[in-house]
Amino acid sequence: MTMNKKIGLVLLFALLFSMGSKAQQATSMRINEVLVINEDNFVDDYGKRHGWIELYNSSAGTVNIAGCFLTNDKNNPRKYPIPKGDVNTQIPPGQQVLFWADDEPHRGTFHISFKLDPDKENYIALYNADGKTLIDEVTIPAGQIADVSYGRKIDGEDEWAQLTRVTPRANNLTLDTNEKIENFKENDSWGVGMTITAMAVVFCGLILLYLCFKQIGKLSIAASKRNAQKAAASTPAAQVSGPVSGEVLAAIGAALYELSDDNHDIENTVLTIRKVQRTYSPWSSKIYGLREVPMKSPKSNHP
């Protein structure tokens, strides 16, 4: 590999690394939506209503904004330093984080040290951790309407406007309707077209099933016939060499007749009773197992 190719690969890797690292830096954050006048809108974690500033992570990786600065003063870019050590300052890709402009930073990480003025323009800026590099800035026009936010029409994009819906910690552009359903309501309010379409789909499915089963049946029958033909071909049929003479047939018939006589008993009406002979052994007789009682001698009449 030549020296020029090595240098080119090194530069390519460096460029890719710098692009990947840039996507993880706070420079990917954007000021996304701002509510100046909060009369009947969302409340903070203390149940209070204040103006708020929403930041959006436009990168493909998680960004930690700890150490960055929020300000409403161009001459003081370090007005509110975002505290370090809070895990909630790590913003996942495509997600938002909300800061309450209540001038009460002692209430937590997301309570900044200034308020928004409802009677004039409000300048808001986000600076990097060095306190010098501007990440994003916006000027909110005066005359804001209560409970109507000012933000980007699409999250992270350049076009700003008063939003028809206040969406803190959510996408600015949300779809509440389904375009296809709306078209059906407009063009087929009675649902006739939907019914015909559904029935057509069902009948088409049934027809396809019928055709499939019919074809499967034909294939099964054909396979059975092929198997039967193979079995018949593998078993050769008995071949007859010539005509059988009458003498041979007569001999076969006589043999069968004689065979049938031997295999069948001839019934007789005479009942024969045979005495069963048993072997007799005197050792098994009961008389040899008895003991004779001795006879008592008569009493003597002698004095």
Mean residue pLDDT across the chain:
82
Name the token pair of 6.
Answer: 């090595």
**pLDDT on residue 20:** 46
pLDDT tens, residue by residue, 176-189: 666 677 777 778 77
Instruction: List, for residues 71-96, the tens digit of each pLDDT value.
Output: 999 999 999 999 999 999 999 999 99
Average pLDDT of span 207-227: 91
Average the pLDDT over 20-41 and give the result.
Answer: 83
pLDDT reported for residue 19:
46
Q: What is the dihedral of CA 44, 49, 53, 58, to 10 degrees?
A: 50
pTM above 0.75, yes or no: no
Arithmetic mean of pLDDT, 122-148: 96
Q: Is 36 buried (19+), middle (13-18) or exposed (0-12) by CB count in 10 A?
A: buried
Task: Report helix angle 179-187 to 192-234, nearest 10.
Answer: 110
CATH superfamily label, 21-162 = Lamin Tail domain (2.60.40.1260)
Q: Calculate the dihedral angle through the C-alpha atoms of 22, 23, 29, 33, rounding to the nearest 10 degrees.
A: 150
**pLDDT over 70 (residue 9):** no
The reported pLDDT for the residue numbered 21 is: 45
pLDDT, tens only, 223-282:
988 888 888 887 665 555 567 777 888 888 888 777 765 555 555 556 666 666 666 566
**Per-residue pLDDT band at 132 (split at 50, 70, 90):** very high
CA nearest to 59, candidates 32, 94, 87: 94
